[in-house]
Structures are given as structure tokens and as C-alpha cells.
Structure 1
Amino acid sequence: MRGLLPAPGPLRPLALATLLSRVGNGLLMTVSVLYFTRIVGLSIAQVGLGLTVAGLFGLLSAVPMGHLADRRGPRTLFVILSLMLCGVSLLYLLVDTFWQFLIVSIVLTAFDRGAGAVRGALIAAITQGAGRVAARAYLRAVTNIGIMAGAGIGAFALHFDTSTAYRLMFVLDAVLSAIAAFVVLAVPAVAPLERSDDGPVWVALRDRGYLAVAALNAAMSIHYAIFDVAIPLWVVDHTEAPRWMVALTLIINTVVVALFQVRSSRGISDLTTAARATRTAGLLLLASMVLFAGASWGNAAVAVGLLALGALVQVAGELLQSSGSFLLSFELAAEHAQGQYQGVWNTSMSISTMVAPTILALLPLGLGVPGWIILGVWFAAAGLLFVPVVRWAGARRTAQLVM
């Protein structure tokens, strides 16, 4: 089992909890939209609107919850939020109108975004330095494995296509998430962080260097939605590739992340290596966008080859970019306010997730090949900016520590 498990310590129970909860996430990712449309009777437009509004409200919870984690300690707060998420998610089984769906989605998303920030604070508390990058990389690999397993289980509900089968998936998600929450109690308790009384409360929102790096990271993170939003329609409507290539590109991405995320993080140990890795990631993402665009010009065999190669190049860039972001999110943050800073980082990622579908619809799906190229240049430009911006943010952080 050596190499498959993290070193003995607090990361092991957190990894097990992550695996259990992500299996539950995979279940709901597979069945939730069909449940709300086929069983509850909502329209696709209503589901989309409800999730978008919930996402907007969710932006308001990460920073305050992260701040609360700093002041009260992240472990117990994370357990409480996780259990609250379990209870609220079961309320979906009682929903039969759009307004009920909207209210439950808003509350659930607020708790979820807050729990994400608190989880980041917990990781920061139980790890140090480069170990934080390795921990986040390991947990991301575990996340992909859990989601794949959950999607496989959720496929059974899709096969039976009954109200009972779909509802069972929601119950199973809640059970797994509740078990995961209690597993986190095996992580040693974390003391609240000390804070001087003579400074501003919302330090993360005043840190221009951190905000700039978070914004750049959010701009580059749009690539995470490519396989969910752009590739399916691009393959079906603009290439000669068979439809199964949609699934194959997603499988390539998921499997490679699960196998190589930890390994890709090993050379990232400081701000300089993180910034350089992200710069390389931007160039790799540019190359992958060119390959995806080229898939529209050839026959089925050429399209399959270019799409598969594009997926491999894209995931190589994703591995480097995510590993760099793990270090930057922690090392540029003030140690006495890690939860608050992780809340800012999570909020920037949430904004990226919200705007990504629109950008992908306007560029590659709206403009075709030129749109793919523009998107690739966007990624490359963001990557190139990381080195000077991170250097500036790091200098600001050092100056603040000296003062």
C-alpha cells in the first residue's frame, strides 16, 4: 500500500473522508438533473436558473465561514457544516415546486462554499510548506477516484430510471457524507489562530497581491469546464469523430489526474516554481486548444487522434496549473487568517465556474476555430502573467511580515 496512502497522520482520515464524500458527489452529478426534470417535473431552464442564483448566493459565504474557521478552529466547524449539508440535501426529496428547489439550492450552496473554505483552512493547519501542495494534490486525486466510483454507482439509477432509484441515490449521498463528517473527527483538533487586535478584520479582501493572483488563477481555471461544456457539442456538431469520443476525452482527463496529480506536484516547492509551472500550463493549454480546433478539419480518424492528443496535452497543463495553485493559495496567505484567504480563493474559483459556460459558448462554440485559438491565447497570456504578478505579490507578503 506504500505510495497509495499518505504518510501516517491527520491527512489519512481527511483523505478517507474526501473519498466517501466525493463518491456521494459523483452519485448526484450523475442523477440530479434527471431527477429534477423527470421526477420532480422542473424544466431544464428552471434547474439552470435555480443553480445559477444559488451560485450567486454561495459567493457570499466562503470568506465569512473561512474567517469563522480562523477564530474558532476549522475541524469542528467543518464537521458541523458537513452534517448540515447532509440534512439540507435530503430536503431535495421533498421538493415539488421551483421555489422550493431554489430555496434548498441556495442554502445548500451557501453551506457547501463555506465548507470548502473551512476545509482549506483545515488542510493549512495540518500541513506545512511543500507538504500542503502534496496534500492538496493527493486529495484531488482521491476526489477524481471518488467521483468516478460515484458515477458508476449512479449509472444503476439511470438504468432503472425510477423515482425510487433516483431518491435512493440522494439518501446514499447523505449517508456517505455523514460518515465522512464523523471520520474527520479523527483529525486532531486545531486551535483557533491568534490575531492581533490592531489590524483590519478582513485582511484577505485588502490584500491586493493575493487578490491579483486569485483573479489570474480564476481566469485560467475556465479550462476545467471544457470537457463538460465545450467538447460534447464540439465533437457532435463540428467534427467527424464518433460520439463516444465525448466520453473518452473525459475518461482520459479523469484517469490521468487520478494517476499523476501527486507526481506532478513534487517539483513545486516555492512561489517561483509554482509561478513557472503555471506559465508552462498556460502554454500547454494553448497547444491543446489548437489541437481541439484542428479536429474539425479532418476525417473521423484524424478527429479522434487530435481530440485524444488534445485531451492529453490539456490534462498535462491542468496538472501543472492545479499544483501551482495549491501552493500559491496557501503561501501567499497570512498564516493568522488562512481560512479567510482560502475563502477568497474558493470564491474566485466559484466565479470562474459560473462564467466558464458563457465564455465557452461565446468563443469555441460561438466562433468555432478562431474561438478556440482566442481561448488558448487567453490561457497562455494568463500563464505568462503569473511570474511577474506572483513575484510582486510575494514581495508584498514579505514586506508585510517585516513590518
Structure 2
Amino acid sequence: MKAPRIAGLIPAKGPLRPLALATLLSRIGNGLLMTVSVLYFTRIVGLSIAQVGLGLTIAGLFGLLSAVPLGHLADRRGPRTLFVILSLVVCCVSLLYLLVDTFWQFLAVAVVLTIFDRGAGAVRAALIAAVTQGAAGRVAARAYLRAITNIGIMAGAGIGALALHFDTATAYRSMFVLDAALSIVAAFVVLAVPKVAPQPKNEDGPVWIALRDRGYLAVAALNAGMSIHYAVLDVAIPLWVVDHTDAPRWTVALLLIVNTVVISLFQVRSSRGIADPASAARATRTAGLLLLASMVLFAGASGGGVVVAVGLLAAGALVQVIGELLQSSGSFLLGFDLAADEAQGQYQGVWNTSMSISTMVAPTVLALLPLGLGVPGWIILGVWFAIVGILFVPVVRWAAARKARPAAQLV
């Protein structure tokens, strides 16, 4: 099988095409729910913001338990069919939200949904690893699918705005149904991907080799620390713009648009040249320094008038998204290339779990640092990104050297 070539907007003929279409359909559904779900649960179901937040946090904790076991199951049974099954389960469970009218019902559905959804993410990554070959092919595939993800979410948010306009229970619930319908179609589209044979079981070595691989765990931990930056535009910037700068409120939307458009246009291009762990580590080091610069620019926006604030915020968003492009491309390669090929599902479960932990802690970090301390907090956060980025080079070198050792020695 040839590694996928990406040219223009349509990938080369092969397994990446159905994966791309499935990704587009499912991410349109994700964009729908991102737009309406909180308002549905608060305005229609009658839950409080605190209850929604608590429920999603508890569900996230349970979700941490599923990625590695389900990724391991993908290794043993094959990732394609398992991913389709998990996707269909997620669709069915998500529709149960339409029957929720108490906090405990909401919590139960959220926990079950998150467990299967996080597991499906690990299995999907294992499927990508299985149907692509070589570091360059896998990085290019993940970069293309990330660009498609941003396009889909943006389109879904636009459709979800219609429900916000009508602001009725029927309008909100129709978005959940549409999301499920799109996701069901996406799951069956994945069946066009060639079936992947299960990996043979190693009777002599340990079962949970990913959890014993200290090098991989160390790189995953660094990646989680760096990935806190993904929440900056969603969590910190809206409150920073409104409460600490003279920039108009529409600046928040402008910065989000800049981020989404740049990723959609340049994610694939930014992945070129990242072909091995060493180049991925260097790209991540550069990303850390760029993120430091962007945090300084965001901090500076509090000290000027409207023009200065908007200019510094826009410059910060542009610098940040360049760092994001490099960091994400490096992450794509490291997550795949440092993993044992016979246990990609298990390793992708570890990688996805680390990303989930980052997503959970990021709001607290941002609340304590930039939103809590102001300008000094932005600087501390930027220095954190720079230090973590610099650490990638020696830690990745160590992890890559360990990869050549037998699995039984990865302790």
C-alpha cells in the first residue's frame, strides 16, 4: 500500500478518502453540538452551568479509563470494524440526551458516552496507523484529517447557529438528531477502508507494553503539558479580551476565525519536513518558543487602547497558530513513530489519554495563571511552553533510543 499523497483539497485515491469523508461528516456533527449543547442542557433541560460542568468533568475522568483497553482490543481484533461499532454505539448513546431531565440522568449518559467516545478516538488513531505507511505518510494523513476537522466544525457551528436563532426545544433537539444521523453515515463510510488484520498476540512478552514504555510515557506527558495551549483561545482569550483589554467583543470571533482558517489552509503544508522523531522534536521546540512569544503579545494587549489591543491580540493569535501547526505536526509523528507497530492501538490509547488529561487540566491552569495573575500569569504560561518545548529534544532522543530495545526491557 502506498503512503497517502495529499494534493489540493482531495487526498489521493486510497483509504484516506473514506476516512476524510467520514471525518468531515462526524465533525460537522461535533460542530453542531459544540454550538448548542450547553444551551440545550441549561435552557431546555433545566440544569445549571455548575451541574453541566461537574457532569462533564466526572465523565472525563471515567473516559481516561477506556482508551488504552479499547486500543489494545483494536490490536487484537482489528481497528476498522471495532471503530465502526464504537462509532455506532456513540451515536445511539448521544440520542439518550434527548430523554434526560435530571442531573443524574445527564451524568449517566455523559459517563457512558465519554467512555466509548474516548475509546473510539484511540481506535481511530490505530486505524490511521494501520492504513498508512511510514512516518511521512502518517503525519500527512493526520494533518489532512485535522484540516478537515476544522472545516467540519466550522460548518457545523454555522448550522448550529440556526438552532440558536430559533431558540426552541425542537430546534435544539433536531441538532442532536442531525448529529447522530451524520455520525451513523460516517461510521458506514469507514467500511470502505480496507479491513485491517489483527496483530498477532505476543505470548512471550508483557501484555501492556505501552504502559511499561517509559520513553513513550515521558514524551506523552510532555505533549500533554504543551497541549494546554489548545484551550487558550477557547477559555482564556474571551475573558481576557472582555475584562482586561479595550478591544471590542468581536475581536474574540476574529481570533477564532484566524486560527480556524490558518489551520484549514496550512496544516498539511506545515507537516512537510517532519519525517522522524528528531525533526518532530525540533519542530516542537520551535513551537514552544513561538507560544512564548504569543503569550507575551496577548499580555501586552492589556496595556493599550483599542487599536493597540486589537493589533497585539491579532498578532498573538497568528504567532500562536503557527506554533500550533508545528506542535500538532510534531505530535502526529511522535505518537505514531515512537510506538511499537504491533501495539499501535494500545500506544494510541496512551497518547489519547494524555491529551484528555491535558484537556481536563487546561481550564484550571488558565484560570490560575493568565486569568488569575494577569500579565505575569501570561508570562509564566509562555515560559512553561518554551521549557517544555526545549525538553522535547533530549527526551525524544532518549525515547527513540529505547524503542529499539525489546518490549520486555522497556521498564
Structure 1 length as normaliser, TM-score?
A: 0.99
20, 23, 44: which is aligned to 1:18? 23
Give the partner amino acid of 2:97: Y
Give the share of equivalent positions with the same residue, in percent: 84
2:88 alignment counterpart: 83
Give distance in 2, aligned partners of 1:401 and 1:201: 10
2:76 alignment counterpart: 71
SS across alignment from 1:296: helix
Q: Report how far residue 195 of structure 1 moved.
A: 2.9
CA-to-aligned-CA distance 1:184-222 (integer Å, 9 cap, x gap): 000000000123211111000000000000000000000
353, 356, 361: which is aligned to 1:347? 353
- 1:302 is aligned to 2:297: no
Give distance in 1, aligned partners of 2:151 and 2:200: 36
- 1:195 is aligned to 2:230: no
2:102 alignment counterpart: 97
Distance 1:344 1:402, change over 3 A: closer
- How do 1:114-193 and structure 2 match up within 5 A? 114-129=119-134, 130-193=136-199
169, 192, 214: which is aligned to 2:220? 214
- 1:205 is aligned to 2:211: yes
Unaligned 5+ residue runs, structure 2?
1-5
Give distance in 2, aligned partners of 1:66 and 1:402: 20
- 1:40 is aligned to 2:45: yes
242, 255, 260: which is aligned to 1:254? 260
Give distance in 2, aligned partners of 1:200 and 1:132: 27
Give distance in 1, aligned partners of 2:137 and 2:7: 17
232, 238, 251: which is aligned to 1:226? 232
Give distance in 2, aligned partners of 1:148 and 1:200: 43
CA-to-aligned-CA distance 1:98-124 (integer Å, 9 cap, x gap): 000000000000000000000000000
Given that residues 205 and 407 in structure 2 are in contact (C-alpha distance below 8 angstroms), is that contact kept between their aligned partners in structure 1? Answer: no
- 1:263 is aligned to 2:269: yes
CA-to-aligned-CA distance 1:276-320 (integer Å, 9 cap, x gap): 000000000000000000000000000000000000000000000
SS across alignment from 2:303: coil
- 1:50 is aligned to 2:55: yes
- How do 1:279-318 and structure 2 match up within 5 A? 279-318=285-324
Give distance in 2, aligned partners of 1:400 and 1:308: 49
SS across alignment from 2:9: coil
2:278 alignment counterpart: 272
CA-to-aligned-CA distance 1:41-76 (integer Å, 9 cap, x gap): 000000000000000000000000000000000000
- 1:111 is aligned to 2:140: no
Give the partner amino acid of 2:37: S
Given that residues 206 and 407 in structure 2 are in contact (C-alpha distance below 8 angstroms), is that contact kept between their aligned partners in structure 1? Answer: no
SS across alignment from 1:295: helix
Give distance in 2, aligned partners of 1:271 and 1:128: 16
Give distance in 1, aligned partners of 2:52 and 2:36: 13
Unaligned 5+ residue runs, structure 1?
none
Give the partner amino acid of 1:193: Q
Give distance in 2, aligned partners of 1:328 and 1:118: 17
Distance 1:213 1:2, change over 3 A: closer
Give distance in 2, aligned partners of 1:271 and 1:194: 26
After TM superposition, the structure 1 stretch with the greater mean CA deviation from structure 2, 188-197 or 34-43, is 188-197
Q: Report how far residue 402 of structure 1 moved.
A: 12
* Matched positions, count: 403
Give distance in 1, aligned partners of 2:29 and 2:367: 29
Q: Report how far residue 400 of structure 1 moved.
A: 3.0
SS across alignment from 2:405: helix
Give distance in 2, aligned partners of 1:131 and 1:195: 26
2:385 alignment counterpart: 379
SS across alignment from 2:196: coil
